[in-house]
Chains A and B, each alone.
Chain A
Amino acid sequence: MKVLSASSKFLPFIFRTLFFIVLSTGLAFGQSGGEGNMVTIGVILILGVLVLGAVAVVGNSMVQVLSVKTGVDIGSTSDEEGTGANIHVLKKGTDIKLKGESHQEIEDVFTSRYAVQPFNFNNIAPIPKLVVEEGDEVLAGQALFFDKKHPDVFFVSPVSGEVVEINRGLKRAIDQVVILADKEISYKDLNSPDVETADREEIRTFLKENGGWPLFMQRPYNILPDNDEEPRDIFISGFDTSPLAGDSSVAIDGRFDAIQKGIQVLNKLTDGSVFMSLDGRKESSFPVELEELSGVEKHYFDGPHPAGNVGVQIHHIKPIKQGDIVWTIGLQELITLGNMFLKNQYDATRIINVCGPSAQRPRYIRTFLGADLSELVKQELEDEKIRVISGNVLCGDKKEGNAFLDFYSTQVTCISEGNDYEMFGWLIPQSFRPTVSPTFPNFALKEMAYDVDTNTHGEKRAFVVSGQYEELLPVDTFPQHLFKAIITRDIDRMEGLGIYELVEEDVALCEFACTSKQPLQKLLREGLDFMLVEA
């Protein structure tokens, strides 16, 4: 709310200044006139108004700077703790609307194979230690392997069945542990401790042993939480603004009791607060049950993508300072966590949004973690003209061949490959594509849904254009300077410009829009990996 008043104060200021300049120019010319050059004066005035008008229109972006700045202030100086309504209005960013949105109903698809893929987890050793062999029978929730860096953290099977394949990649790194699922899933009885009475160490040990640990991500770096670190706070994003993300209420699918239980667990794990951000955009609705959750501080975010990214939300709620460690957890992971205590079993049910302009049947699917994509999107995966992405088009992973759903992704997007030449494609494009540049006429059509392909639409160049990333990243930093600091491995600058606050998904929109086609997500990960080792 404070943000709104700040920006509304600022706009009239611009217009008053402009009016003053126009008026004074007019007066000045009026005084000097008398030689019959009123025409000239008229022309100058009109042109002046035109230029200044254009300046004023573009000047709106200045308001964005202000609002974001004020947004930070609201977060850090908020006195409405607990159940109070905290509203953050973000102006920066843009929504990318694509064709192929999913329908609301959910279809049950039980694929025969599921996989856990070690490369889904950042900062674990490439060759984890297996505790099962090919041919072993496992229960859902039974340990498959552990990471040599975190020997007490186990990764567990999402379903019950037989371990049929252990696929190895380069240098014998384990890519996939594949399980052929039973018709009827049988769950390992977890013997979960009572959340009310158990102490923190007991719960942490339980989570590490039973596959609950990898459900969390630790920031900075977006890695598996450290063995012995405790999070300052835990953040949950209650909605997703990324392209074709769909409706979070479908993903929750009425499993509110598990969410509530999960939040109870989260509160046991941190001395700080548990924050949940909810969709504050006018046109959207979210299930009222989320508002009624207890034990969580709710924040409302209004704005275009990336307002739904938990990293951006953390920046506006309670920024990560140097030395801080926070955890994040997704909604569906939170449900799994809650069910570990509520139902005493590792329930890896996931609602997957299969979508995209090239998806045969865009729909929601109820399946399990790590489902076999060659069954979920068989035709699309076999078609060479189509790219199947586990995740969204901005930060998902391309999947080919023997492909399974990634651990943290709840979305499968299918778009067409763009490996064609296009005559004068850069000058006179033959199809509309989503864009943030007003040089394209479709820039004005904000509601248009687009077909897209994977063409880069240009070649990689050095950084030339400035101010572009700032418009798309609602975080108070200078992204281009941060990326240059990463390239030059300047530790002080990287820290100073807040590399700890960002992960790949936050800069994905900047990468999408980048005129110089720079690989920003890759750069940021290089920087984060460098900092992880050096700092």
Chain B
Amino acid sequence: MKKLLNFIKSKEPKKGTLGHTLYDGFFTFLYAPNEVTGSKGVHIRDRMDLKRTMVTVVLALQFCYLLGTYNIGHQHFVALGMYESFFEGFHLKIAFGLTKILPLFIWTHVVGLGIEFYFAWKKGHAIEEGFLVSGALIPLIMPPDLPIWILCLAVGFAVFLGKEAFGGTGMNIWNVALLARAFVFFAYPTTISGDQVWIAGFDQILPGAATDYGWWQTSFFNTIFGWFDWAQFDSTAVIVDGFTGATPLSLAYEGGWSAVTDVYSSSQMLWGALPGSVGETSKPLIILGAIILLASKIGSWRIMFSGLVGAVVMSLVFNAWGATPFMEVPWYNQFLMGSFWFAIVFMATDPVTATATNYGKFIYGFLIGMIGMIIRIINPAYPEGWMLAILLLNTFAPLIDHYVVLGNIKKRLKRA
């Protein structure tokens, strides 16, 4: 072990070079540094550091990755009318999912970490861990078939203008992952909205449309599966008749809850075997992640709890109003559709962009719940509001904090 350390140490590049920044970034991952506390101040420190904080969040996201990857494949074959039972064609669905999720994941990190490394080098500080979580979140909130160049542009925009321009990890105003998604949403709307984009592997979602397989499916995986005599990707398959690929939200917008249940069952919506962004579909697995975040005290229960309350209150208000079919969807069914859970558990709780005070967190979460529900139900262009609600409240978080802090200051003055 000592030898390994010495070997790695001997490879250390000169300080001040990009190589040293990179080396330092990876070395501190491999070894906790030998830094000691100063002669004044605390002499012992908690083992908890930012790396561990971030990695805990990434671990909590892994359930979403597992199911999300599989679900990309599952939705693809459901559209083809093949292997319609969830566990049929397991190897094909996994393989197809991987061919979609891995490019998203890898390119997100290449672009995002590249920018991080560059800025760490230029500013002469250590590489900060903030992008670990952003990088894990971004592939989960994109449509599986998003063109890679759009993804790279979006990640570049979010990390460069959304984060580094403000001073790096801990200084950004808006959630980096959501900023990347918002970029795609406003710059290339057709790639991220409508019914066409949520199912991967087709040029367009129309009955009779052919699959769009590449080298990975037809050559790589088909060869491997051929060795084992397993079922292979079938390039001649076409989308079955009557398939629309509509998401529950767009169905509900058109025809209310009954239109949704015509296509999807409740348990399908709960477990997430339906089209959508990669990581948002399965509610129980997101809640499992939420439990990890809550038990480790890394995610704020205040934001999650008040967000839930805010969304419930707003959907009850819409239930009472009842002007459109969507408004009449029973409030509890709103939580089976869309990406509320993913947004409130993983996006809203980002400690940098959320409010920092405990009272502020209640207000922040509650408003996210309310505004997200308003956008979902009233906005005809895009029936999902969490991204916009969270970005909006990110903007107002410092204001909320300001007034909470002012309250404390006033209380202290009153004591005088």
A interface with B by C-beta (< 8 Å): 21, 25, 28-29, 32, 35, 37, 39-40, 43-44, 47, 50-51, 54-55, 57-59, 62, 65, 76, 96, 319, 321-323, 387, 389, 393-398, 413, 415, 417-427, 429, 433-440, 452-459, 461-467, 470, 476-478, 480-481, 493, 496-498, 504, 508, 511-517, 519-522
Question: How far does the alpha carbon of A50 sit from the alpha carbon of B128 in the complex, in Å?
Answer: 34
Residue pair B47, A440 in contact (C-beta under 8 Å): yes
Instruction: Give which listed residue, B45, B312, B416, contacts A321 with CB less than 8 A.
Output: B416
Contact A515:B50 (CB < 8 A) given known A438-B297, A466-B354, A481-B405: yes
B62 at the interface (CB under 8 A from A): no
3 residue pairs, one from A and one from B, having the closest CB atoms: A458-B49, A425-B32, A462-B170
A421's contact among B32, B168, B301, B333, by CB below 8 Å, is which? B32
Q: B35 at interface (Cβ–Cβ under 8 A)? A: yes
Does B265 contact A462, Cβ atoms closer than 8 Å?
Answer: no
Q: Is the CB of A462 within 8 A of B30?
A: no
**With the chains together, A35 CA to B38 CA distance in Å?**
66
Taking a contact as CB atoms closer than 8 A, the residue among A322, A427, A440, A453 that contacts B55 in the complex is: A427
Given A397-B39, A419-B36, A422-B32, A462–B168 Cβ distance below 8 Å? Answer: yes
Shortest CB-to-CB span from B396 to chain A, Å, is: 16
Check A438 against B295 for contact (C-beta < 8 Å). Answer: yes
Contacts of A435 in B (CB 8 A): 46-48
Q: How far is the CA of A10 from the CA of B25 in the complex (A)?
A: 46
Shortest Cβ gap from B261 to chain A (Å): 8
CB distance from A48 to the nearest CB of B (A): 9
A129 to chain B, nearest CB (A): 26
B contacts with A, residue count (CB < 8 A): 80
Q: A211 to B36, alpha carbons, bound, how many Å?
A: 37
A49→B355 CA distance, assembly (Å)? 27
- A420–B36 alpha-carbon span in the complex (Å): 9
Complex: A434 Cα to B401 Cα, angstroms: 31
> When A40-B267, A458-B32, A512-B45 are in contact, do A437 and B296 touch as well, CB less than 8 Å?
yes
Interface residues, chain B, with chain A CB atoms under 8 Å away: 1, 5, 28, 30-53, 55-56, 126, 128-130, 167-171, 265-267, 270, 283-284, 287, 290-291, 294-298, 300-302, 304-305, 312, 330-333, 351-352, 354-358, 361, 401, 404-405, 408-409, 411-413, 415-416
Q: When the two chains form their complex, are residues A458 and B42 in contact, meaning their CB atoms are under 8 A apart?
A: no
Which residue of B35, B129, B305 contacts A55 across the interface (Cβ within 8 Å)?
B305
A459 to B126, CA, bound (A): 9
- The reply to whether A476 and B408 form a contact with Cβ atoms under 8 Å apart is yes
Docked Cα-Cα span, A204 to B354, in Å, equals: 53
Residues on B with C-beta less than 8 A from A457 are: 32, 45-49
Check if B46 sits within 8 Å of A434, measured CB to CB. Answer: yes
Evaluate contact between A522 and B40: CB separation under 8 angstroms: yes
Interface SS of A by simple majority:
loop
CB neighbours of A58 from chain B (8 A): 294-295, 297, 301
A481 and B5 alpha carbons, distance in the complex (Å): 40
In the bound complex, do residue B46 and residue A464 qualify as a contact, i.e. CB atoms below 8 Å apart? no
A-B pairs with beta carbons under 8 A, tally: 268
Nearest-CB residue, chain A, relative to B129: A461
* Interchain CB contact under 8 A, B49 and A426: yes
Contact B170 A455 (CB under 8 A): no
Subset of 17 A-B contacts with CB under 8 Å: A37-B266, A43-B270, A47-B284, A54-B301, A76-B415, A321-B415, A419-B34, A437-B47, A456-B33, A458-B32, A462-B128, A464-B170, A464-B352, A465-B53, A477-B408, A508-B42, A515-B53
Q: Is the CB of B356 within 8 A of A517?
A: no
Contact among B42, B52, B312 with A439 in the assembled complex (CB-CB below 8 Å): B52
Q: Which residues of A are found within 8 Å of B305, using beta-carbon distances?
A: 55, 59
Which of chain A's residues have a CB closer than 8 A to the CB of B30? Answer: 423-424
A434 touches B48 (CB 8 A): no
Most chain A CB within a 10 A radius of its CB, from B283, B332, B352, B411? B332
Q: Does A464 lie within 8 Å of B44, measured CB to CB? A: no
B44 and A512 contact, CB distance less than 8 A: yes
Contact A462-B358, Cβ < 8 Å, known A319-B415, A515-B48, A515-B49: no
B341: nearest chain-A partner, CB-CB: A51
Asked whether B40 lies within 8 Å of A397 as measured between CB atoms, the reply is yes
Whole-angstrom distance between the alpha carbons of A498 and B416 in the complex?
Answer: 12
